Chain A
Amino acid sequence: MTILRLALRNIIGTGIRAWLNAFIISIALVAAVWNQSLVSGMDEQASQASQAIEFGGGQYWQENYDPYDPLTLEDAHAVLPAALQRLVNEGKATAILVLQGSIYPHGRMRSLLLKGIDPGQRVLAFPTSSLADPGPDLPALIGGRFAKATGLARGESVTLRWREPGGAFNAQDTRVAQVMKTTVASIDNNQVWLPLARLQAMARLPGQATLVVLAPGTPPPGPLPGWTFRDIDYLLSDLRALVKAKSYGRTVFLVIFLSLGMLAIFDTQVLAIFRRRREIGTLIALGFTRGQVIRLFTLEGALHAILAVILGAIYGLPLLWLQSRAGLSVPAGTEDMGISIGEKIFPVYSAGLILGIILIAMVVTTIVSFLPTRRIARMKPTDALRGRLT
């Protein structure tokens, strides 16, 4: 208690220098919380968007389907098992047929995926209703990125080509019914969405699909022969790996910030031990052991972290709150990097995040504060009393 009291007095007595050190650490703390909260926000937004727009509550994949191998698509379709068909009929799932194809926008050929989906589905939150045109034209739904890449606009027609079972190529013109703006690049890049029944007819694959997306909260009907269930954790694993990879990069900045703070603490401690040699000798003469003096100096250093938490709370909490309300605008092109985060990232804070960062800062500060104090253990009290270093 005496040591804590003395440490508090000493650090307050240090005046502006202590507050400057604490301020530097507080910047590192606030920056770390902000940085990690952006990663959390990015993860949460991207996960929510991907679930709502692409993954639903899990998917059944036809056993040959491998989204990373387009060559599997030729055989990756089958008639839905009764259990899945029932869910589709009840509106608790939607079937998607995926085929390889190509288009010829403005005379140039471009390979792509043709995806058939029920225009009336409500499982995934994207505007498939625009495919519900009963007219003779084949309506197509494309994403903004694909529209930009191909130069296609709403109402424009383009020739589609695909391969029928047996190997023959077929072609048909399609009209862009809508260009959708979506944060999920994986339903946008290099793909054209068509009415499921029309695509099944074009490809002569009646009643067949490549995957079935379950509505969120719909329990999977269990193992189905020829179909593999992919739960949401599996489907989000790539996304989470990407967010994690990005968070590593951000951690570098955190380490740099914290290192600056720690450098200031280390410097302060070394200087304090040098300047306060006589005081160290006095404390030992008054009955302090060397261990107590080391604890005192270490505690003084560690108290910088507590001051930093207080300072950080004073200016950081309002700033972080404002940021969580206003969000952070995402630079153009970020969405194309594969994370579905929209135009703004809204940081997500949690008690665990904040306490974790505070704990790390406290532990690191304590260690950095302790390191220079080892010199005290070698100090002779008689030399210290004379203001000499042993």
Chain B
Amino acid sequence: MTGNHLIRTENLVKTYPMGLSQITALNNVSLVFGAGEFSGLVGPSGSGKTTLLNIVGSLDSPTSGSAEVLGRQVEKLSHREAAGLRNHSIGFIFQTFNLLPVYTAYENVEFPLLLLKTPAQQRKKMIMEALEWVGLADRGRSRPSQLSGGESQRIAIARAMVKRPPLLLADEPTANLDAENSHHILQTMEKLNRELGTSFLFATHDEKVIGYLRRKITLVDGRVAKDETFPSPAGKGVQP
């Protein structure tokens, strides 16, 4: 990592084949994110938010340009190196929660630590701590099918945060939640950002999420249309 930045993209371009033509999802996107940010990529559907998030998360690679994440050039990573980067340093939160259905909530949270081969004693402590962060220490034995949408997303946050990654990527985390649950999990994430220093990067077009952001990057047709920072969360006024 050079300087104080966590993520740096330069002239990032991503195109997809669509029949005989090419669709440009990202067009010369150059951005820098520092450590501890609570930022969001906003914009309408098809603006390139998720594509950029996926590249930053090393789930995808750019067509041209470069993306440096935690000091690693994403476009140069092998599958194995990309998996290692995600495993050690990046947490993901998805719109559809994506909990492993055969595991209990506790085991879902435990999963990243198993991949990291964390010793059992330490693992247990970290899992309980993560479940307490999201206020679900008593639901460890529940299976995903027994959890509400809000609870599932909170377990997903615990799973993403349990290994204390420096970067957490959240793709439309509130899209399947009602307003109350949305604010609950956003407050949880904001608290984790404040207390643990984890950087959060959202892809969203949900006003509730936008209201919590301290930096808002607006993407339109794959280009950065606006990059705004706020001394305090952008739109606290939209909270209930």
Give the complex CA separation of A10 and B114 in angstroms: 16
- Interface residue A2 (Cβ < 8 Å from any Cβ of B): yes
| A2 to B116 CA separation, bound complex (whole angstroms) | 10
Query: Are B79 and A13 within 8 A (Cβ)?
Result: no
Closest to A276 in B: B101
Interface residue ranges of A283-303 to B (CB < 8 Å):
283-292
When C-beta atoms are compared, the residue in chain A nearest to B169 turns out to be A285
Complex-state Cα separation, A1 to B115, whole angstroms: 9
By a CB distance below 8 angstroms, the chain A residues around B116 are 287
B18 interface contact, C-beta 8 A: no
Are A286 and B87 in contact, with the CB atoms below 8 A? yes
CA distance A287 to B85 in the complex (A): 8
What total of chain B residues lie within 8 Å of the partner, measured CB to CB?
Answer: 27
Q: Is the CB of B86 within 8 A of A13?
A: no
Contact at B98–A287, with CB atoms within 8 Å?
no
Binds B, one of A247-255, A314-322, A338-346, A380-388: A380-388
Residue A92 CB within 8 A of the other chain: no
CB distance from B144 to the nearest CB of A (A): 11
Q: How many A residues face the partner with a CB closer than 8 A?
A: 26
Question: Which residues of B sit under 8 angstroms from A10, Cβ to Cβ?
Answer: 102
Q: How far does the alpha carbon of A286 sit from the alpha carbon of B111 in the complex, in Å?
A: 8
4 closest Cβ pairs, A-B complex: A287-B87, A13-B102, A282-B98, A289-B83
Could you tell me the distance between the alpha carbons of A382 and B60 in the complex, rounded to whole angstroms? 7
Q: A residues within 8 A CB of B79?
A: 289-291
Rounded to whole angstroms, the CA-CA distance of A278 and B107 in the bound complex is: 18
Inter-chain pairs besides A285-B92, A291-B80, 18 sampled, C-beta below 8 Å? A1-B114, A2-B111, A13-B102, A278-B96, A279-B98, A283-B100, A286-B86, A286-B115, A287-B86, A287-B87, A287-B88, A287-B115, A287-B116, A381-B54, A381-B59, A382-B50, A382-B59, A385-B59
Provide the bound-state CA to CA distance between A382 and B101, in Å.
Answer: 20
Q: Is the CB of B59 within 8 A of A288?
A: no
Interface hits, B60-100 → A, CB 8 Å: 60, 79-80, 83-84, 86-88, 92, 94, 96, 98, 100
Check B33 for interface membership: any CB of A closer than 8 A. no
Closest beta carbon of chain B to A123's beta carbon, Å: 68
CB <8 Å contact, A289 and B98:
no
Cβ of B43 < 8 Å from any Cβ of A? no
Q: Interface 1/0s, chain A 58-94, versus B by CB < 8 A?
A: 0000000000000000000000000000000000000
28 pairs across A/B with beta carbons < 8 Å?
A2-B111, A5-B114, A6-B100, A9-B107, A10-B102, A12-B102, A13-B102, A278-B98, A279-B100, A281-B98, A282-B98, A283-B100, A284-B59, A285-B59, A285-B98, A286-B87, A286-B92, A286-B159, A287-B83, A287-B88, A287-B112, A289-B79, A289-B83, A291-B79, A292-B83, A382-B60, A385-B59, A385-B98
Which residues of A are found within 8 Å of B92, using beta-carbon distances? 285-286
| B48 close to A (CB within 8 Å) | no
What B residues does A13 contact at CB under 8 A?
A: 101-102
Contact between B112 and A9, CB atoms less than 8 A apart = no
Residues on the B chain within 8 Å of A291, using CB? 79-80
Bound Cα distance A380, B96 (Å): 18
Given contacts A13-B101, A13-B102, A285-B86, contact A382 B112 (CB under 8 A): no
| Chain A interface, >50% SS class | helix
Contact among A2, A12, A283, A382 for B54, CB-based, below 8 A: A382
Q: Which residue of B lies closest to A278 (CB)?
A: B98
Q: Provide the bound-state CA to CA distance between A282 and B171, in Å.
A: 13
Of all chain B residues, which has the CB nearest A5? Answer: B114
CB <8 Å contact, A2 and B114: yes
- Closest A residue, CB atoms, query B85: A287
Across the interface, name the chain A residue whose C-beta is closest to B116.
Answer: A287
In Å, the complex CA distance between A9 and B102 comes to 6
By a CB distance below 8 angstroms, the chain A residues around B87 are 286-287
- A2: which B residues are within 8 A, CB to CB? 111, 114-115
What distance in Å separates the Cβ of A212 from its nearest Cβ neighbour in chain B? 73
- Contact mask B164-185 → A, CB, 8 Å, 1/0? 0000000000000000000000
Query: A285 — which chain B residues lie within 8 A by C-beta?
Result: 57, 59, 86, 92, 94, 98
Complex Cα spacing A12 to B107, Å? 15
Give the residues in chain B near A278, CB-CB below 8 Å: 96, 98
A278 to B171 alpha-carbon distance, docked (Å): 14
With CB as the reference atom, state the residue of chain A lying closest to B89: A287
In Å, the complex CA distance between A299 and B98 comes to 22
In the complex, A13 Cα to B100 Cα: how many Å?
11
B60 and A380 within 8 A (CB): yes
Inter-subunit contact A287/B84 (CB<8 Å): yes
CA distance A282 to B87 in the complex (A): 12
Report Cα–Cα, A380/B86, bound state, in Å.
15
Which residues of chain A are near B100, meaning CB under 8 Å? 6, 279, 282-283
